[in-house]
Chain A
Amino acid sequence: MLPDLTNAVPKVHPVSRGIEPDDPMNLHAVEVDGDPQVMLQMLVEEYARMGFGLDELMNLSRQPFYQGLHGLWQLYGEAGLRRQLGAILSRCGVFRAKVWEATPPVSEQLLQIGDRAQLERNHHA
C-alpha cells in the first residue's frame, strides 16, 4: 500500500531554496539593504578610472568569477547592462595613463628545487 503523501513536504534541496532570514547558519544569505544601481555606477566608474572600456567590461561581466559585475549582468541582462554601461561611460569617460618605470623588475629565474624533503626540513628547522 502506498503511503499517503497529501501532507508531505515537497523535497527541495537547500541550494535551490530562497533566502531564509531567520537561519543563523547561513549568514551569507542575509539580505542587507542596498541599491544595485549605485553599485553598478560606482563599479563602472572605478573600472573606467583604470582604463576599461565598454567591450572589456561586457567581457568581464560575463565571467562568473568577477562576482560584482557578473551579479549585475545577471540582474540587468546582456542588453540592459550594455545600455547602462554605455550611458555611464559616456558620462565619466575612460581614463588613460602612461607609466614609465626606472628599473623594471628582473624576470625571476626558474630554479631546480631539488630534494623536497630536505627543503621541508630546512623550513621547519
Chain B
Amino acid sequence: MPNVNNWQIGRPMEYPLEERHPKWQFAFVFNPNRCIGCQTCTMACKSTWTFSKGQELMWWNNVESKPYGGYPQHWDAKLLGMLEEANPGGQVWNTIEPEPALKPYGIFQGKTIFEAADKYAGPDGAQRALGYLPTDDEWRHPNIHEDTPTGDLFQKDSQYGGSAALPEHKVWFFHLARICNHCTYPGCLASCPRNAIYKRPEDGIVLIDQSRCRGYRKCVEGCPYKKAMYRPTTGTSEKCIGCFPRIEGKDESVSPTGAPAETRCMAACVGKIRLQGLVQIDEDGQWTKDPRNPLYFLIRERQVALPLYPQFGTEPNGFYIPPRWVPRGYLTQMFGPGVEHAIEQYTCPDRELLAVLQLFRASQQIIFRFEIQPGPKVAEIEVTMPDGKKKVQEIFNDTIRGFNKLNEEVVRVTVEEPTFERAPEQHVNSI
C-alpha cells in the first residue's frame, strides 16, 4: 500500500490509493458548546436533498446527543472496539514533541482503519478499510432514546399529549452535529470496488458517481463516520454532496455576484454553531499558510477546533470546538490529545480569537479572509480556567470584517461592551 502523509496523526500512513490533493478543500468548524440540538440543520438538509422515496431513513446531516445517541446507533463505539481488537492496548498517542505544522497533536502510534484492515476480514473477505455494515435497526432512528419519546400511553399528565416523555440526563451530555467530513483520505473512496467515488479537484468534496455505483455498500462499510448510505429504491449508495451548487456560487439568492456560499445545513443553523469554508491546499497536501482565513486561524493557527476521531486516519475536514463541561478522557478519545489546549484557548479567548468567533453564522457567503479593526478596551472579565486558576479576559470594541472569494466585504461584526446583571440576592443598591 502507498504511504500518504496525514498531518492529523502526525505521521505517514498506509492508504490503498496514491496521494492526490485538490486545490481547495471543503472544511468546517462546529461548536458543540453552543448546539441546542434543534435539528434545524437536519431538516434543512432533509428538505433539500433526501425527501424522496427510499431516502426515508437517510440523514446526511444529523445531530446526536453524546455519549448516548448515535446515527447509526453505536457507530463510533463499534469501530473503536474493532480497532482495539485489531491492536489491543496499542491505540495511543505520543504527545511529547508536537509540531504546529506537521504534527500539531503529536503522533498517533496505533493503527488507522486502513492499517488495521489487513488483520480483519469481513463477511465478504478482506477489507481495504476496517469497518462494518450497520444493521437496519441501527439506521432506523436518527437519535434514538434522545429525541424519541419514551413514555407510555398511560402517562396522562404530560403536557405533550399524554403519551410522550423526553429522556432526562442525570449528569452531562452534549449535542454532536455531523455531516460527511469530506475526508482527505476517505474510507468510502478507498473501499469502493467500482471506483465510483471521487474527490472533486476544485473543492475536495467527495461524491458518489451514481452511474458507476452498483450498490455493493462497501462505502457504507468503509466510512468510519457512517456517512455513506444505501438507497433501496435506486439500488445505489448516496451521501452528502456538500451542497456543491452553493459552493460553486450558483445560488443567486445568497450569491448575487457568484461568490461561494455556505451549505444549507450551515446557513440554517439558528444556534450559530457553524462556520464553513474552503482552505487552500499545497501540492504536497499541506494546508497553505493563510492565517487570515477564519478556518485556518481556528484550526491550524490557534488549534481551538479539532478533528473528529483523528485516529481513524481519514484526515476528516470537519473540526469541533470541544464542549467544555465534558470529562476530558471522553473528549480526548473523540477529538485527540489537543483537547486541553483547545479548551484553554476557548475558555478565555484573546481579542483576535473573540473577534473571529463572531463570524459564526454571520454571513451565508463563505468568508475567505478577515480583517480586524481594533477598538478601545471596554471591559475586563474574570474567567475561571479549566485548572481552576483565575484569568482576566479583556474585551475590546473591535470590529471584524469578513470578505468573500471575490474580496467583497460581506459582513462586519462589532464586539460591544458586555452588560452585567446584578445577582438576584443582591440588594438593588448594593455595589
Contacts and interface: CB of A to CB of B under 8 A. Distances in A.
A39 B172 contact: yes
B150 interface: yes
Contact of A34 (B155, B327, B358): B327
Nearest to A71: B169
B237 interface: no
Given A28-B68, A93-B418, A67 B37 contact: yes
A40 to B, nearest CB: 8
A97 B358 contact: yes
Contacts of B426: 90
Contacts of A99: 362, 411-413
A101 interface: yes
A72 B38 CA distance: 18
Contacts of A71: 168-170
Given A96-B416, A105-B364, A66 B36 contact: yes
Interface string A77-94: 000001100110111111
A86 B67 contact: no
A78 to B, nearest CB: 12
A96 B423 contact: no
B52 A123 contact: yes
B409 interface: yes
Nearest to B150: A15
B144, B252, B324 interface centre (most CB from chain A within 10 Å): B324
A41 B53 CA distance: 45
Interface string A57-86: 000000011111001001000000011001
A13 B152 contact: yes
Given A67-B65, A68-B36, A103-B410, A94 B421 contact: yes
A4 interface: no
B185 to A, nearest CB: 30
Given A101-B362, A120-B52, A42 B382 contact: no
A5 interface: no
Nearest to B415: A97
- Residue among B168, B172, B233, B324 with most chain A CB within 10 A: B172
A82 B426 CA distance: 13
Contacts of A91: 381-382
B34 interface: yes
A71 to B, nearest CB: 5
A32 B171 contact: yes
Interface string B88-131: 00000000000000000000000000000000000000000000
Nearest to B420: A93
B316 interface: no
A34 B324 CA distance: 12
Contacts of A1: none
A27 interface: yes
A33 B171 contact: yes
A28 B146 contact: yes
Contacts of B358: 97
B325 interface: yes
B235 to A, nearest CB: 12
Interface string B16-39: 000000000000000001101110
Contact of A46 (B34, B69, B74): B34
A98 B424 contact: no
A33 B327 contact: yes
Interface of A: 13, 15, 19, 26-28, 30-36, 38-39, 41-43, 46, 48-50, 53-54, 64-68, 71, 74, 82-83, 86-87, 89-103, 105-106, 108, 120, 123-124
Interface of B: 33-34, 36-38, 52-53, 65, 67-69, 74, 144-146, 150-152, 154-155, 160, 165-174, 233-234, 252-254, 256-257, 272, 323-327, 330, 357-358, 362-365, 379, 381-384, 395, 408-426
Given A15-B165, A67-B173, 12 more contacts: A35-B171, A42-B325, A43-B325, A65-B38, A71-B170, A90-B422, A90-B423, A93-B381, A96-B419, A97-B358, A100-B412, A100-B414
The 8 closest A-B CB pairs, nearest first, are A93-B418, A34-B172, A28-B145, A28-B68, A96-B416, A86-B423, A39-B325, A34-B171
22 contacts: A13-B154, A26-B145, A31-B171, A33-B171, A33-B327, A34-B327, A35-B325, A42-B33, A42-B323, A42-B324, A53-B421, A54-B421, A64-B160, A68-B173, A74-B168, A90-B420, A94-B421, A96-B416, A96-B417, A97-B415, A100-B414, A124-B52
